[in-house]
Each structure stands twice: as structure tokens, then as C-alpha cells.
Amino acid sequence: MKKMLSGTELLRSLCMAFGPSGCEENVALMIKENIKGCYDELVPDRMGGVIALIRGNGSSEERLMLSAHMDEVGFMIREICEDGLLRFSSMMGSDTRIMAGRRVSVGNADMQVRGVIALKPVHTVERADRGKAATLDELYIDIGASSREEAEKYVKIGDYGTFESDFVEFGEGGKLIKAKALDDRLGCAVMIELMREIYTREERLPFDVYFAFTCREELGVSGARCASHKIRPHKALIFEATAVADIHGVPEVSKVAERGCGGAISIMDRSTIYDRDMVDMLLETAKAKNIPCQIKKYVSGGNDAGHIHKAAHGTKCAVISAPCGYIHTASDVIAKEDYNSIYSLALAAIERMGEDA
């Protein structure tokens, strides 16, 4: 049996796994390995997510859902060219500034090959177009193949790709972490650690707790929709990562949150208006327990809560997001302290919900 990981090593292992939207199998297997013996039941999920149940003591009929998505931003191969280069579709939006020259892994859950995202050199670009971001049609993935036949030995149309990136601790005392896929493997790691803590306690919570590790969030074709309709939760707590823009030159009004100041609690985004009672409960709990947290200051983006809050007869939702610099790139950056704060606040909030049930 493999050793269960925790803390930074757990996060490292999850981030380094290959798991773009639609190809989350490796991440799901890793999660299952790290939650063995920490749940009462695994609930089937046809979408490919992992749903684990820790039963309550039966004194409350309410169901609490915790959710984090397993997938990361990536690509899909749509054409193998005669010269062995690969054309691709983006599963992360159309911002090509972050793509050119990046190392990538391409393939499927069973096998990947390395490559780089290529574009034509600057001396072949018209002067009027120099300095402009390339379009997706101008980018290719080079896996070192010299022909279509050679490339087809390793990849096929419909295969996936994602950034290849080292996991690096940096800054004074290693206070920051740089990696791919911190959105949202950080949320997955927090949920794994919460499961271990809650399951091993002698006293059970009054209500059932479902831990849903969902798929395909980055595409908007969210596995959380199916998971939440199966669970039919009364309340849900979603763990996510959010862009922060806390760098020089960004107007104060555009800054979302600040790394190192705790998890960001949203009041509203473009997919959800969060339940005010749950938001207030999180803020009050953080204050009472002296746990750093902050309010997300900019109405932007969305997450699995956009699907979960509409499940069945409706679900009261709240989200705690990790402030993440350079999100959806090969170099997401978070503060270690935010990881710890999010875990501490989530555990304290669940305990308080148990007291109030």
C-alpha cells in the first residue's frame, strides 16, 4: 500500500498529475489512494468524479456537500500535420500570450509524450504584426516527430495536453508555491485532509458529509451538476482558486484578493449569489477562531457553485477560494499560509454547522 501523503507533499503529488478537463482518471486514482479508510461509502459517479460519504450520527436529515474540481486547464489535439506538428484546441480560453514556447505533455491517461508549443520565428512575421499575440491557428505542438506517421505512433486526434511545470517552493522560507494545476488541486488536497480529520474523530457530525471531487469544471461542462443532483445537498462548501492580480501596475479597483491573507470568500460572482447566512457564518467563524480570511473584492468568474446552487430544490452555497497569481498558466502561485488558513476555516465552519444542526 502506498504511503498516504499530506501537506505540501500531497499538494505536489496532485499538481504533478496529468489531468486536463475530460481526462481526470489519474487524478481520481490518486485521490482514491489518499482517502483509503477515511469514508463510509464511495458513491458511483458516471461523469468520472470521486464522491465519498462520511455518514453522520443520524440526528439531522441535512446533507452537506464539499466540492473541489480535479481537472486542470489544457488542450485537445485536433489535427496531426504532414510534418508531424500538432494543431490543438484550447480548453483554457483564448489567451495565447501564456502558451508560446511552453513545455507540454500530450497524450491520454495511460501515456503522455513531451513537447513544446511552437510558433513561427519573429523574422518571418510581418513588421505590423510583431508584438501581437499569436492566434490559436498560428500555434502548434512540436513533439519531435518529423512526419505524420511518426507522430501517430504517440498521439491521436482527440488526445489531451497540459502544461508541464515543476513544483517549486520559493520566497523567504519557501512561503510561496509555484506549480501547474493549483487550480484546483489545492482544493482537492484540502478536502482530502478534511476527510482524514473528520473520519477519524470519535464523535460523528449530526449530518452526512459528501466529499465531491468533480471533473470538467474548466470547460463549464461541470461534473458538479450531476454530483449535486445525486447528493441533493442542503448546504455546500466549494473550494476553488481565484485570480488575484495583486501585482504592480494593477489599479486597486481591479484587485480581487491578496496572497497570504487567507482564503477569499465570495459574496457574488458571475454564476452565483452566495447564501448570505453561510457567508456570514464563515466570516464570524474566522473572526472567532482568529483565522485569516478576506472577502473577494471583484465580481468575476464562476465555479462549480453555479451548478450546485441550482441542484434539486436548491442548495445554500458558500465558496472559499485560494488567491492564485498567474492562474491558468504553467506557473500558478499561491501562499502556503493560505492553504493552511483555508483548511482551518473549513474545519471550524463544519464544526460550527454541526453545533447548529
The catalytic residue positions are 217
Q: Is 131 left (phi over 0), alpha (psi -120 to 50) or beta?
A: left
Q: Are 349 and 285 in contact (CB under 8 A)?
A: yes
Q: How far does CA 41 lie from the centroid of its chain?
A: 24
Cα separation of 243 and 326, whole Å? 7
* Residue 17: CB atoms within 10 Å: 23
